[in-house]
Structure formats: structure tokens, C-alpha cells
Homo-oligomer: A and B are copies of this chain.
Amino acid sequence: MYILSTISGHRLEDVKAASSGPVWYQLYLTGGREAAEAAIERARVAGFSALVVTIDVPVAGMRERDVRNGTKELLSDNLVAKLPFLPQVLARPAWLTRFLVDGGVPEPPNIVILGAGPMPVIDVGAALAQTMVTWEDLRWIRGLWPGPIVIKGVLTGDDARRAIDEGAVAVVVSNHGGRQLDCVPASLHALPEVATAVSGRAEVLMDGGIRRGGDIIKAICLGARAVLVGRAYAYGLATAGEAGVARALEILRTDLERTLKLLGCTSVPALDRSYVDAQTN
């Protein structure tokens, strides 16, 4: 199952067409309601099976690593601003060549401003700063999207209950990779409270920190139905393209099965809290 982000380098229709399994569409309100409306409609027509609404990015977080690496400057058109950050790029000529051959920085083709075309990547951060998602927005989205809605970025039992009351069929316990709010709890630590609050009324998914098969097992023991992975497959993709992604998933699957056997547990559904020794409040 794949979740395509609004902020993606490929047209959502192309991704759907190339997928054999179900694909969900992850919506950001970047670009405003009109851009979102168009994207939702495109996703519906293309056949995406669920809409994932991300609620933990009302503004871009303060990512100090991005500041040190000059992410903003490198994406800009200002050559003088880029200069101090070029050495780290030039020091990797093979990577740079492949990057340029591949077309350089892609424009996100799923954020189309009416009458202006795709939004440049450099503007996405600024646009994010004005796109807080409210429960009000969610009701408006429900009017546009007839299929199931998943709320991503839930970290408390209260928010999970509210999300379900507002019509979500699933919540994703997530802290956005820890890159949004400094000092935010690990999603694994927030998971038990959410699972207890949801109490079977909706599906509970989780992302964040899934590096091995044992991490998936822990999340399931603590109440997740499944997990989302981001870096694991991206590392595989960067290293070896499609084969790399397949290998990354295979590593996780093999490790998951090995860990199950070592636990003496016969199947994933048979996992429960007795298999972990987590300190929960």
C-alpha cells in the first residue's frame, strides 16, 4: 500500500496508474482551498482509495538542519545566497550528475495554482505556513471526498476521539518524523494512549522510527494495526531505485517474520501487549 504526498515529484495520476496495490492520497492544504479542491477531485477520478489529511503541519517546523545545510538557499534562484552551500554539493559529483540528468529539483505537479501552474518547491514552505487544518476544514473536505478519510498526526487520545467523531475511519499516530515540533513525544510512546482512546472504533496506524522488523512488532503490540515507513524505502530508492525499495521492504518483512518466530508467536494478529515491556502511564 502506498501513500502519495501532495508534495510529490510525480503527477498523482501517473503514480496511481503505475501501482498494482491500493494507493492513498496524502493531502496538504498548501496552495489554498482551490488548489486542494482540484487535487482531491483528481485523486478521486484517478481512483485513490483513501484520503490522508495531515494535521501536524499547520506551519513548517523549525528544522535547524535545513538552516545549516542551506536548503532554502540551494532551492532559490539567488546564486549569491547559494554560494556558501555549494561545496557540499560539488563534493559529490556523481550524485550531482545523476541529480541533474534526472531533471534537477522537480516542481510539485499536484499543487496547481489556478492560472499559474505548479507551485515552485521554494514556495511550498512559505505556503505551508498559512495552511493550518482545522476541524472546520475537515468538514469541508468530507463534502468533497466521498471515500474513507484518514487523519495523520494524532498524538493524544482526545485528538483521536475527535478525529473519529468528525468522520475519520483511521488515525495515524505520527510526529512527522520528529521534524515539526521540538520535544514532541515519540509516536511509539503516544500510541498506547491513542489505541485505548480509539478502542476499536477506527483503525490505528503509526509511523516514526520503523527501522527493523522488531519496530513493527513493537508498534503492533502497543496497539497499531499497521505501520507506515518513510526513510526505510527512501534510503533503498536513493541507493538502487526500484530494486532498492524492494530490498528495503524485504529486509523489513524478513526481520518481522524472524522476530515473530523468536518471540514464539504464531502470527501478527496474535501479538499483544504481553510481548513488550513498555512503561506506560
Q: Which residues of A contact B (CB under 8 A)?
A: 55-56, 58-59, 61-62, 132, 159, 180-183, 185, 212, 214, 218, 255, 258-259, 261-264, 277
Contacts and interface: CB of A to CB of B under 8 A. Distances in A.
A182 B214 contact: yes
Contact of A181 (B56, B180, B218, B259): B259
Contacts of A61: 258, 262
Question: Assembly of this chain: how many copies?
Answer: 4
A59 B181 contact: no
8 contacts: A58-B264, A59-B258, A159-B264, A180-B262, A181-B214, A181-B259, A183-B214, A185-B277
A261 B182 contact: no
A54 to B, nearest CB: 13
A214 B132 CA distance: 19
A155 to B, nearest CB: 10
Nearest to A176: B262
B58 A261 contact: yes
A21 to B, nearest CB: 27
A185 B58 CA distance: 35
Contacts of A255: 62
Given A62-B255, A255-B62, A132 B181 contact: no
A58 B218 CA distance: 20
B182 A212 contact: yes
A253 to B, nearest CB: 13
A262 B58 contact: yes
A262 B214 contact: no
A261 B212 contact: no
A33 B186 CA distance: 46
Contacts of A262: 56, 58-59, 61, 180-181
